Amino acid sequence: MFLATLRPAAEDVIPLPTEGKTFSQRLRKVLERVLAVIHRTLFPFLMLLDAALPIYAIDVRLMKYLLSLTENAHVSKPHTRAAITISVIFGILWLLWTVPLGYCLWSHYWVARRWKPVSTPLPNKQVSGKTGEPRLCYRCNIFMPARTYHCPVMDKCLPHYDHFCPWWAGGVWIHNLKAYLLFLAFLPPYQAFVFGIGMWVAADKDKRSSCKIVMGTGIACGAALVLSTVIMLEMWIRLGFWNLLTSEHDGCFLVDDAGVPQEIKDPWDQGWR
Ligand SMILES: [Zn+2]
């Protein structure tokens, strides 16, 4: 009953901002759309390249080259063995990051799409400021439970919502947080392996280095490796070890046992467990 009286009425739900009328507002709108297109297409395209190009370079081009050498009588066994070893390790490393990524995509486009934001019973530990008011989401028309945040892309409140990841065009939230961390953890070893193969090919001046596509893919993966490692470390330290969501970077307000709101820097930090 208490909840029903405090809950915003349906007509109070704030509609999305309408189209701007002035030139600067229109310009901003255009820029936002361009950025959205980049977010939704360019980054996922690069991610797709990361998955597909090494398959072509290693499984098709390099294997064809290595196995063709076995037909020449002088060196047969070492190349077959190298081909098998490279293929098996590559296959394992490829699956290690694409399976969690697939789970993340399913979580965003299937589970989160069907997710119904729920209002929390009051009182709730996490409040909106020093006044201690409950956190209201006027878009979803709910009292936000602790650690629930509104995803502007999905336009709904999701528990443990962290951020919208442009690389695979999906949101990180409670359902795919662990899979997301696994995906991040297994991407750099994969890129390092492809980089290593590229360098191995390049190192043989006379024979293997004719596989230019493998060398190129290796160098590209080496460059991507640096970026992936930085993102992976940042996410693992913050999400994995500090238990801190993006929206909680600057701390948040929690009511203590006496009901007084306190601003706490990292209330859910459990240390390096
Ligand atoms: Zn919301």
Neighbours of ion ligand 1 (CB under 5 A): 137, 139-140, 150, 157
Amino acid letter for position 194: V
Could you give phi then psi for residue 201, rounded to 5 degrees? Answer: -65, -45
**Cβ pair 168, 176 in contact under 8 A:** no
- State the distance from the centre of ligand 1 to the C-alpha of 141, rounded, in angstroms: 7
| pLDDT value of residue 17 | 57
| pLDDT value of residue 70 | 60
- State the distance from the centre of ligand 1 to the C-alpha of 219, rounded, in angstroms: 43
- State the distance from the centre of ligand 1 to the C-alpha of 15, rounded, in angstroms: 12
Amino acid letter for position 239: L
- Domain positions in the chain: 35-264
Q: Indicate whether this model's pTM tops 0.85.
A: no
* DSSP secondary structure of 5-65: HHSPPGGGSPPPPPPP-SHHHHHHHHHHHHHHHIIIIIHHHHHHHHHHHHIIIIIIIIHHH
* DSSP secondary structure of the chain: -HHHHHSPPGGGSPPPPPPP-SHHHHHHHHHHHHHHHIIIIIHHHHHHHHHHHHIIIIIIIIHHHHHHHHHSSSS-HHHHHHHHHHHHHHHHHHHHHHHHHHHHHHIIIIIITT----PPPSP-SEESSTT--B-EETTTTEEPPTTEEEETTTTEEEET--EEETTTTEEE-TTTHHHHHHHHHHHHHHHHHHHHHHHHHHH-TTTGGG-HHHHHHHHHHHHHHHHHHHHHHHHIIIIIIS---GGGTT-EEEE-TTS-EEEES-TT-----
- State the distance from the centre of ligand 1 to the C-alpha of 156, rounded, in angstroms: 4
| pLDDT value of residue 39 | 78
- State the distance from the centre of ligand 1 to the C-alpha of 135, rounded, in angstroms: 10
- State the distance from the centre of ligand 1 to the C-alpha of 217, rounded, in angstroms: 42
- State the distance from the centre of ligand 1 to the C-alpha of 157, rounded, in angstroms: 4
| pLDDT value of residue 194 | 95
Q: Which residue has the tokens 């290690």?
A: 96
The C-alpha angle 15, 16, 18, rounded to 5 degrees, equals: 105
- State the distance from the centre of ligand 1 to the C-alpha of 115, rounded, in angstroms: 12
| pLDDT value of residue 9 | 53
Query: Within its chain, how far is the Cα of 24 from the centroid?
Result: 32
82-133 pLDDT, tens digit each:
889 999 999 999 999 999 999 999 999 999 999 998 887 766 778 777 777 8
* Pairwise pLDDT comparison (21 vs 18), residue with the higher score: 21
Most confident of 31-40, 126-135, 226-235: 226-235
Amino acid letter for position 12: D
- State the distance from the centre of ligand 1 to the C-alpha of 241, rounded, in angstroms: 27
- State the distance from the centre of ligand 1 to the C-alpha of 136, rounded, in angstroms: 8
Residue 272 CB neighbours (<10 A): 8
pLDDT at 10 over 80: no
pLDDT at 12 over 70: no
| pLDDT value of residue 186 | 95
Q: Which residue has the tokens 């953890």?
A: 185
Compute the mean pLDDT over every residue in the chain, rounded to the nearest whole number.
83
Return the C-alpha torsion angle 95, 96, 97, 101, nearest 10.
80
| pLDDT value of residue 106 | 96
| pLDDT value of residue 49 | 93
pLDDT at 72 over 80: no
| pLDDT value of residue 187 | 95
- State the distance from the centre of ligand 1 to the C-alpha of 252, rounded, in angstroms: 17
Cα–Cα distance for residue pair 223/209, rounded to 1 Å: 20
